[in-house]
């Protein structure tokens, strides 16, 4: 079992925010655009959207976008065209929503593979919020892994930048945070058009610590590619990420790019993203980076030979806030993402009292500013108020080192890298309503075997304790 660090860094984060749109697409993009600025501060340059465009990044340094009026934040550089990562999206009314597959993985419980909302309410339990439009979502206990409620959690969908959680869980333990690396021109090649960048420049030296801040705060694909270069290259890193997903029993995930940029066949699920977050949060450095609201990032060298720096802000709006959205009480990470293909994706962890919940939402249908964050906040509100008033409908399984292969007992519908990737909704199926009654049995996994026990849920409670909260206020770094 993974041991808990004694560093108490899962603290509630009540970040004050600057009214800015420092991340591409944090507002409502124009129809047909990759992302547009929506706040008081001018956003980075974007070009026309090109959903699956894959063009080599031009060589040479990248100019950082204009400084924010407050001089506290510097928007990231954005490669022209393509599907920019963003904190939130919008735009033209999209096509009719696809139906989830009729057959999905049942890893973690039989009900988790059934289309529609799955919840088992006890007396006095609040109903699941009705306004949740995400194609897929899940609310789970971050420590016990019990799933309180979910909708299509195993639906294989494009993950966007939330896949960076798997990248971090795979690569972060390999390099000391104070290790330095000089960026080569080749390190910044191969990024997808429209990628968001923290502003890394070739032939300059960066500490590993700074690179991870660039990954988590700015979702910088340039930081991802630099760390991947340190790790033996993109191809080697993708191979390791696939193996790590397999080790975590994340059977819905097929990795093609280390940064989550749209690519044919690249999928994950709300369930798997929750597994990645839960595993990553066992690492103290992971917790630090995903909980950091603001930081200074190394810039260019001025004419006097002094290395300059600029401010960056976390694009997770439940952590950093926005003009129409307050930081969520008790928030402590984890990662957000956006591409035109994936829509908005988000995995977040928060703590109220002794309870720590994970919420993942993928691709809300409602096209409003910060909608993914608002839906996640509503699910948090429900989850904390429903504590002790619902029967779990499943659980987040442990890694193979603890529980063996979670698919071994015949969980059908599993995709991932041991099977053909799912097509994300080709099969039509009616959506289930809140199924709080019924004769469902919950599934428990013990040593990799599926056991059904009448109407009683049998769970192997492999808790992964997380550090207690010690103070309020978002983490800021100098």
pLDDT band for 387, please (50, 70, 90 cuts): confident
Establish whether 306 is a catalytic residue. Answer: no
| pLDDT tens digits, 203-224 | 999 999 999 999 999 999 999 9
pLDDT tens for each residue of 312-346: 999 999 999 999 999 999 999 999 999 999 999 99
Top pLDDT among 225 and 81 is at: 225
Q: Tell me what pLDDT residue 467 has.
A: 53
Least confident of 166-180, 202-216, 309-323, 405-419: 405-419
Closest to 213 (Cα-Cα) out of 109, 296, 113, 321: 296
For the whole model, what pTM was predicted?
0.74
Across 5-9, 307-311, 342-346, least confident range: 5-9
Burial of 114 (C-beta count, 10 Å sphere; 0-12/13-18/19+): buried
Q: 213 near 172, Cβ under 8 Å?
A: no
Half-sphere exposure of 323 (CA within 13 A, CB side): 12
Average pLDDT along the chain: 75
Instruction: Evaluate if residue 28 carries a pLDDT over 50.
Output: no
Helix axes 164-171, 234-247, angle to 10 degrees: 90
Q: Which of 164, 335, 356, 374 is catalytic?
A: 164
**What angle, 0 to 180 degrees and rounded to 10, lies between the N-to-C axes of helices 164-171 and 208-218?**
160
Residue 363 C-beta-side C-alpha neighbours within 13 Å: 26
- Known active-site residue 37: no
- Please give the pLDDT value at position 364: 97
Least confident of 169-183, 316-330, 358-372, 442-456: 442-456
User: For residues 328 and 334, what is the distance between their CA atoms, to the nearest angstrom?
Assistant: 13
- Whether 161 is a known active-site residue: answer yes
- Give me the long-range contacts of 229-235 (CB less than 8 A, separation at least 24): 229/184, 229/186, 229/187, 230/175, 230/181, 231/171, 231/174, 234/190, 234/258
pLDDT of residue 244: 98
What angle separates helix 234-247 from helix 221-230, to the nearest 10 degrees? Answer: 90
Q: Catalytic: which of 65, 136, 140, 219?
A: 219
Which residue, among 3, 10, 153, has the nearest Cα to 462 in the 3D structure?
Answer: 3
The Cα–Cα gap between 327 and 13 comes to: 7
Answer whether 184's CB lies under 8 Å from 448's CB: no
pLDDT at site 408: 72
83 vs 361, residue with greater confidence: 361
Average pLDDT over residues 396-416: 73
What pLDDT is attached to residue 24?
34
The mean pLDDT value for 20-44 works out to 31
Q: What angle do CA 449, 450, 451 make, to 5 degrees?
A: 115
The answer, yes or no, to whether residue 20 has pLDDT greater than 70, is no
Question: What are 422-478's pLDDT values in tens digits?
Answer: 333 333 333 333 433 322 222 222 222 222 222 222 222 344 556 544 233 445 554
Residue 291 has pLDDT above 60, yes or no: yes
Please, which pLDDT band fits residue 178 given cuts at 50, 70 and 90?
Answer: very high
Interval 172-186 mean pLDDT: 97
Rounded distance between C-alpha atoms, residue 184 and residue 201, angstroms: 9
| Options 161, 195, 269, 274, the catalytic residue | 161
pLDDT digits (tens, 9 = 90+) for 87-118: 333 444 556 788 999 999 999 999 999 999 99
d(CA 275, CA 283): 14
With cut-offs at 50, 70 and 90, classify the pLDDT of residue 67. Answer: very low
Give the pLDDT confidence score for residue 310 in this predicted structure.
Answer: 97
Residue 366, pLDDT score: 93
- Provide the 3-class DSSP secondary structure of residue 429: coil
Tokens of residue 143, six digits:
């420590």
Asked whether the beta carbons of 228 and 234 are under 8 A apart, the reply is yes
């Amino acid at each position: 079992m993974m041991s808990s660090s004694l560093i108490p860094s899962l603290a509630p984060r009540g970040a004050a925010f600057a009214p800015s749109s420092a991340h591409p697409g944090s507002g409502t993009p124009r129809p047909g655009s990759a992302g547009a600025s929506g706040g008081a501060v001018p956003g980075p340059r974007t070009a026309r959207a090109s959903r699956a465009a894959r063009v080599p990044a031009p060589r040479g340094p990248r100019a950082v976008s204009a400084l924010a009026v407050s001089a506290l934040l510097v928007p990231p550089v954005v490669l022209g065209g393509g599907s920019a990562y963003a904190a939130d999206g919008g735009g033209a009314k999209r096509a009719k929503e696809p139906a989830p597959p009729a057959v999905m993985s049942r890893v973690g419980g039989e009900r988790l593979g059934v289309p529609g909302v799955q919840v088992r309410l006890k007396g006095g339990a609040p109903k699941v919020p009705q306004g949740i439009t995400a194609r897929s979502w899940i609310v789970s206990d971050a420590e016990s892994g019990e799933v309180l409620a979910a909708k299509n959690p195993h639906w294989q969908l494009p993950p966007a930048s939330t896949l960076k959680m798997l990248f971090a869980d795979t690569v972060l333990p390999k390099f000391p945070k104070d290790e330095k690396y000089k960026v080569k021109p080749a390190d910044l090649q191969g990024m997808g058009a429209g990628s968001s960048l923290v502003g890394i420049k070739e032939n300059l030296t960066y500490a590993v610590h700074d690179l991870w801040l660039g990954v988590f705060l700015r979702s910088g694909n340039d930081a991802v590619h630099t760390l991947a270069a340190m790790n033996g290259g993109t191809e080697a890193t993708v191979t390791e990420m696939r193996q790590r997903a397999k080790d975590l029993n994340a059977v819905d995930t097929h990795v093609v790019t280390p940064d989550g940029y749209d690519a044919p066949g690249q999928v994950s699920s709300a369930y798997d993203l929750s597994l990645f977050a839960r595993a990553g949060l066992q690492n103290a450095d992971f917790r630090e980076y995903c909980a950091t609201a603001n930081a200074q990032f190394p810039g260019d060298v001025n004419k006097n030979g002094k290395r300059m720096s600029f401010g960056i802000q976390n694009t997770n709006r439940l952590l950093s806030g926005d003009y129409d959205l307050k930081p969520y009480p008790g928030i402590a990470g984890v990662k957000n993402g956006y591409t035109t293909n994936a829509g908005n994706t988000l995995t977040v962890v928060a703590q109220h009292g002794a309870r720590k919940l994970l919420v993942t939402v993928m691709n809300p249908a409602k096209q409003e500013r910060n909608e993914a964050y608002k839906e996640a906040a509503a699910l948090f509100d429900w989850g904390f108020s429903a504590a002790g008033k619902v029967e779990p409908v499943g659980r987040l399984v442990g890694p193979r080192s603890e529980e063996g292969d979670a698919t071994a007992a015949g969980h059908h519908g599993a995709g991932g890298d041991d099977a053909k990737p799912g097509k994300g909704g080709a099969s039509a199926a009616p959506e289930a309503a809140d199924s709080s009654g019924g004769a469902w049995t919950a599934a428990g996994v013990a040593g990799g075997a599926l056991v059904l026990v009448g109407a009683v849920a049998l769970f192997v409670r492999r808790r992964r304790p997380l550090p207690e909260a010690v103070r309020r206020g978002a983490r800021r770094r100098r």
